[in-house]
Structure 1
Amino acid sequence: MRKYGLAVAGICVLLLAGTACGDTKANGSGGQSTPGASTSQSSTPGASSTPGTSTTPSNSPAASIAVVPAKGATSVQPDKPVTVTSTGGKLTAITLKDDNGDKVTGNFNADKTQWTSADLLMPGATYTLSGSAEGTDGATVPVSSSFKTLKANRTLKSAIAPLNNDTVGVGYPVQIYWTNPVKDRAAVEKRLSVKTSVPVDGTWHWVNSTQVNYRPKNYWPVGTKVTVKVDLQGVNAGNNTWGVSNRTVDFTIGKSVVSHVDVKKHVMTVTINGKLARTIPITAGKDGFTTRSGVKLIMEKFTTKRMDAATVGIKPGDPNYYNIPDVKWAQRVTSSGEFIHGAPWSAGSQGSANVSHGCVGMSLNDAQWYFGQTLVGDPVTVTGTSRTMEPGNGWTDWNTTWAAYKSGSALS
């Protein structure tokens, strides 16, 4: 019998329960005949739990190769590794590419008898494997295979704040918004990472199934460089929802601007990098429009902002209605419409009485100075009222104790 330098046999990975590889049944058993698969049979359609038997005689010095998943397999799970294993020889080169030509990274073991993919795969894609192996008889034989991953019912992508290359305030929480609900939060959270240029103790916290945030135990250290990685591709988020993209965002923490508004004393103090920088007379919300107490973060900044009471349900004709087209130096601190801004119309009450509709008002000079000091994400702590911040009314991460915040991690 003529001896071959190498015989290649493939096997399939286990597929999703109840998912068939194709239309054909073999021998009436309900199994699937998969092109390029080993002669070993499995009760799972299109799958084989053990490498196929080499056709090389047992006394041959040639190698035997097993590939998982098998050639021609369909509905391969993206989160399962691809392996190429050589018995009686060694692998010399292995390349795995998707249908866009992008390579999947992988690693050989110490004696190069096995190669294992390191990256998760893209759902709904075709992958092509190529390479070579060398048998103990010295012959080199090409290795080739191809397979398809399963198609996702829903895909998972992310939107991340801060944006790449932003410089933000010391209170800014990382916020990730998902395009579809996440059922398996732990599986997704394992693929999230935050790296910092200085040691920072932080944690993820799931706001709901479509949003997860990250904040440190204390405010970010000044000047910290932060890298957020979201490696979603091939992650099973549950309910046949699969991640399809990887993202990296880098941002920097600016100087520390921490403010405190005392509503009862009608004053705001501003501390910059740990030193008191200015004490500002203010007016806050009057009866019926009480300013909320709690830790707020600056969310948006406008040199000029139209403020129309209709946006908060006050209609024209109501004594409390207002529509001011050019409010200067306005900085949003709640989703519901509280701002810190210049308010020349209340100059006589600043420092002595609360006459606003919930905003913190100050002189134009003080407002302009304050606007020039702050970054989005700078914290403003308000005290002196019985009305408190509602969860989710802005960026409210700092109104939760550290222990409670940590408990919101799926991996806690």
Structure 2
Amino acid sequence: MLLAGTACSDTKAGDPAPSAGNTQGSTNPSGGPSTPGSSSTPSGDPAAANVQIVPAKGATAVKPDQAVTVTSTGGELSDITLKDDDGNKIDGSLNADKSVWTAEPGLKPGAKYTLSGTAKGTDGGTVPISSTFKTLSPAGGKLKASVAPLDGETVGVAMPVQIYWNNPVKDKAAVEKRLKVTTSVPVDGTWSWQNSKQVNYRPKTYWPAGTKVTVDIKTQGVNAGGNIWGNANRKISFTIGKSVVTTVNVKKHTMTVAINGKLARTIPITAGKDGFTTRSGVKVIMEKFKTKRMDAATIGIKPGDPNYYNISNVQWAQRVTSSGEFIHGAPWSGGAQGSENVSHGCVGMSLKDAQWYFGQTLRGDPVVVTGTTRHMEKGNGWTDWNETWAQYKAGSALA
């Protein structure tokens, strides 16, 4: 005789056991009803494949971090499959004697799951396993990630990994534990929370050129706090390009470009004039445009002001701050390049030099600016490299 048990209680160790015929439910933290966990119906035949399933068959409002297990007390399990209502499979593994199957952690919130498989008793008989349950719909929302760089992108040696969450994370440690960076060569790096909706990762020093990087965001089912639960996993891979490190000396009106550690070119430049001082600090190239309109109205200078400008086709423009500093071609300032600072904060150079430089760089390349008393503000662009390693590492929730 083969019997497949179904769930009827959620008794924990140390809790009073429910009396026969008196199954009790409970209320879960999200406010919805919770269906009890698991039980089995014992068989009188010791050779039968008795089965216990957690969560219970038909359970609702199951927490996404609930462990999913199938246990056979009288035989072996095989072909155990757990899928959500979109057909996505949750992987799992069997123990050595194939009596317990355990799913990998992390269920999708607000989803229906179907579990199937087979149990085989020592008597050779088999019994099908079939169960369904539903996870809770989180009152606070579902946690999703947007990531930079892009999957498959080749980026510069200063590129930080940036994860932007659609909802605030209260339990940063729980989420950070589910983030993993692997590299093709050894790299010492750390996560650092910028705020409750953004966490970044950078190495201790610039990425080694040619490094292959994989970021595994396994946050499906994680409890982020505030009744917010991780909704999906993501994995991206990117490559570090050649090393291009730029140094701008505002006082000397020069820009040097080192490629793979060797000086490639020294370029005469102009930078920000009085009242529009170029910021010193480590900047990172964020965007690249062969041509870009630059309108002073975007930085609060209105038409009619002597400092107003609106240039429709600024060539070879590369953004280095969110507030509007670029490195670009500036043929109108040719007489000042190498001798005087006349810009509104951008670094300008000849079109020939700007085109050459544009062809060398990638998004994520560092630009180190010196020679001014105005410094980079945290968050005004990709400012990860303006903190010491100790300061940056202290931003980890696991530090």
State the TM-score, normalizing by the size of structure 2. 0.91
Q: CA RMSD in A?
A: 2.1
1:10 corresponds to: 7
Match of 1:138 in 2: 124
**CA-CA distance at 1:182 after TM superposition:** 1.1
In the alignment of these two chains, the number of paired residues is 387
Distance 1:135 1:63 in 2: 4
Q: Residue 382 of structure 1 aligns to a residue in which SS?
A: strand
Partner of 2:211: 224
TM-aligned CA distance change 1:283 to 1:85, over 3 Å: same
In structure 2, the residue matched to 1:125 is: 111
The answer to whether the Cα contact below 8 Å between 1:158 and 1:176 also exists between their aligned partners in 2 is yes
Equivalent position amino acid for 1:326 in 2: N
User: Would you say the 8 A contact 2:46–2:74 is kept in 1?
Assistant: no
Distance in structure 2 (CA, Å) of the matches to 1:91 and 1:40: 30
Contact 2:35-2:61 at 8 Å conserved across structures: no
Provide the rounded CA distance (Å) in 1 between the counterparts of 2:10 and 2:89: 20
Query: Within 5 Å, which residues of 2 pair with 1:46-125?
Result: 46-48=34-36, 52=39, 54-57=41-44, 60-125=46-111
How far, CA to CA, are the matches of 1:166 and 1:12 in structure 2?
A: 50
Deviations along 1:105-146, one digit per CA (max 9) or x if unpaired, are: 111111111111114211111112222212233322222221
Describe how 1:10-409 pairs up with structure 2 within 5 A.
10-11=7-8, 41-42=23-24, 44=26, 46-48=34-36, 52=39, 54-57=41-44, 60-153=46-139, 154-409=141-396
Q: Which moved more, 1:134-143 or 1:225-234?
A: 134-143
Alpha-carbon deviation of 1:42?
4.9
Letter in 2 for 1:89: G
Name the CA shift for 1:12/1:218 in 2 (closer, same or farther; >3 Å).
farther
Q: Which moved more, 1:393-402 or 1:97-106?
A: 97-106
The one-letter code matched in structure 1 to 2:338 is: G
In structure 1, C-alpha distance between the alignment counterparts of 2:54 and 2:21, rounded to whole Å: 14
* C-alpha distance in structure 2 between counterparts of 1:384 and 1:347, whole Å: 21
Q: Please tell me whether the aligned partners of residues 40 and 51 of structure 2 are also in contact (alpha carbons under 8 angstroms).
A: no
Secondary structure at 2:242's aligned position in 1? coil
In structure 2, the CA distance between the partners of 1:346 and 1:70, relative to structure 1 (3 Å rule), is same
Q: Secondary structure at the match of 1:369?
A: helix
Q: Distance in 2 between matches of 1:239 and 1:322?
A: 47
Deviation at 1:43, TM superposition (A): 6.2
What is the alpha-carbon distance in structure 2 between the residues aligned to residue 256 and residue 208 of structure 1? 30
Give distance in 1, aligned partners of 2:40 and 2:152.
54
Going from structure 1 to structure 2, the CA distance change for 1:218 and 1:11 (only over 3 Å counts) comes to farther
Q: Which moved more, 1:249-258 or 1:95-104?
A: 95-104
Deviations 1:296-318 (A, max 9, x none): 01111112122111111111111
Deviation at 1:260, TM superposition (A): 0.7
Q: 2: distance between equivalents of 1:117 and 1:71?
A: 16
Gap change, CA 1:12 and 1:115, over 3 Å in 2: farther
* 1:362 partner letter: M
Report the Cα distance in structure 2 between the residues aligned to 1:347 and 1:13, rounded to whole angstroms.
77
Do the aligned residues in 2 keep the contact of 1:225 with 1:253 (CA within 8 Å)? yes
Contact 2:291 2:315 in 1 (8 A): yes
Q: Secondary structure at the match of 2:297?
A: helix
Say which one has the larger Rg.
1
Give 3-state SS (helix, strand or coil) of 1:237's partner. Answer: strand
Q: Secondary structure at the match of 1:100?
A: coil
Residues 342 and 363 in structure 1, CA contact (< 8 A), matched pair in contact too: yes
Asked whether the equivalents of residues 3 and 42 of structure 2 are also in contact (C-alpha less than 8 Å), the reply is: no
* Cα distance between partner residues in 2 of 1:40 and 1:104: 33
Q: Counterpart of 2:7 in structure 1: which amino acid? A: G
Instruction: Tell me the residue number matched to 2:15.
Output: none
Determine if contact 1:97/1:103 at 8 Å carries over to the other structure. yes
Paired residues of 2:5 and 2:40 also in contact (CA < 8 A): no
Code of the residue aligned with 2:166 in structure 1: it is T
2:31: which partner in 1?
A: none
Contact 2:7 2:40 survives alignment (8 Å): no
Q: How many Å apart are 1:235 and its aligned residue?
A: 1.5
Structure 1 stretches of 4+ with a deviation exceeding 6 A read: none
Amino acid paired to 1:137: D
Confirm or deny: 8 A CA contact 1:12 1:69 kept in the other structure: no
SS for the counterpart of 1:8 is coil
**Separation of aligned partners in 2, 1:60 and 1:367:** 81
